[in-house]
Amino acid sequence: MQNLIDGRAIAQQIHAETAQRVAVLKARGVTPGLVFIRVGEDPASQVYVGMKEKKSAELGLHSVTRVLPEMTTQAELLALIDRFNADPQWHGILVQAPLPKHMDQATVYAHVAPTKDVDGFHPLNVGKLMLGDPSGFVSCTPGGVHELLIRYQVPLAGAEVVVLGRGNIVGKPMASILMQKGRHANSTVTVVHSATRDVQAHCLRADVIIAAMGVPEFVRANMVKPGAVVIDVGVNRVADPTAKSGTRLVGDVAFAEVQPKAGLITPNPGGVGPMTIAMLLANTARAAEMATGSARR
């Protein structure tokens, strides 16, 4: 359909740009290095890390995965992160979520060196984003959404944007990106959440809706004004007796009924998802550039 935002195509554009940056670095004798740390055997985490490893290799990055047992202590995990923080051959460190329940996620993410925090979760990088300081790393999913909006030439200056969800991974950084005074931003951002009164009224005035609540098919057609841009970040598993597994994945947007009203809309899958890996690897290339004094935004 003509109003689809093709995340796979945009991700491929970014991958091609990253591959060129990696080639330039290699010509200078530097191979960007990316470490994946996974604790336990969560099936989804295995899949996600495998996809990231494969794409890293395709783009010419050097990556390694360290898998720790489920019962690894937090102190042992932090000690491993310390070793990679201190090793200059590694420019990016990614600790795959979810972590076991006996670990504090915020403490673990804050232990990664800010200059190697290619996930953009370290408090220093989060603070730089809020302050509009471009020297930090932007977390990959909201950064990817921003790239989709830019490359589809969605007008953002003065636009009414509603972000559904106030999570630390997507909602808060997404709002911070779009409210900044600068190019490809300057939006009027409303963040709605579980305590918001009349969510529908907020959504109906939005030029852009970014759904990241984690509620299956929450955004319905009666919440979207004609011509609005709708970005679906959600990944939710719902029961489906017709599916072989008994379940299927849906987004936060009721796609079939919203698409006819939207000016542009992301499919799910094939919208935001591919952008997360693209931004991760772009951040890793940038981390290597920073380490060699050739950084670019």
Determine the length of the chain.
297
Q: Is residue 6 part of a domain?
A: no
Q: Which residues are paired to 264 by β-bridges?
A: 229
Q: Is residue 290 part of a domain?
A: no
Q: Are residues 105 and 174 in the same domain?
A: no
Q: Are residues 204 and 246 in the same domain?
A: yes
Q: Are residues 144 and 267 in the same domain?
A: yes
pLDDT for the residue numbered 295:
62
Q: Are residues 86 and 152 in the same domain?
A: no
Q: Is residue 232 part of a domain?
A: yes
Q: Are residues 154 and 256 in the same domain?
A: yes
Give the DSSP H or E segment for 267: none
Q: Are residues 42 and 82 in the same domain?
A: yes
- Residue 196 belongs to domain with CATH number: 3.40.50.720
pLDDT for the residue numbered 1:
61
Q: Are residues 261 and 165 in the same domain?
A: yes
Q: Answer whether 126's CB lies under 8 Å from 154's CB.
A: no
Q: Are residues 94 and 145 in the same domain?
A: no
pLDDT for the residue numbered 247:
84
pLDDT for the residue numbered 297:
47
Walk along the chain (297 residues) and give the pLDDT tens digit of each residue.
689 999 999 999 999 999 999 999 999 999 999 999 999 988 888 988 999 999 999 999 999 999 999 999 999 999 999 999 999 999 999 999 999 999 999 999 999 999 999 999 999 999 999 999 999 999 999 999 999 999 999 999 999 999 999 999 999 999 999 999 999 999 999 999 999 999 999 999 999 999 999 999 999 999 999 999 999 999 888 888 888 888 888 899 999 999 999 999 999 989 999 999 999 999 999 999 999 886 654
Q: Are residues 157 and 111 in the same domain?
A: no
Q: Is residue 7 part of a domain?
A: no
What 3-state class would DSSP assign to 219?
A: strand
Domain stop point among 115, 132, 165 = 115
pLDDT for the residue numbered 275:
97
Q: Are residues 191 and 237 in the same domain?
A: yes
Q: Is residue 15 part of a domain?
A: no
Q: Are residues 108 and 162 in the same domain?
A: no
Provide the token pair at 271: 């919208």
What domain range includes position 111?
27-115
- Residue 88 belongs to domain with CATH number: 3.40.50.10860
Cα–Cα dist 102/79, whole Å: 16
Count: domains in the chain: 2
pLDDT for the residue numbered 181:
95
Q: What residues act catalytically?
A: 52, 96, 119
Spell out the residues 6+ positions from residue 37 whose beta carbon is closer than 8 angstroms to its own: 65, 66, 68, 77, 80, 81, 84, 93, 94, 95, 96
Q: Is residue 18 part of a domain?
A: no
pLDDT for the residue numbered 31:
97
Q: Is residue 133 part of a domain?
A: no
Q: Are residues 164 and 235 in the same domain?
A: yes
Domain stop point among 115, 131, 155 = 115
Nearest to 110 by CA among 123, 99, 100: 123
Q: Can you tell me which residue has the tokens 């299956």?
A: 216
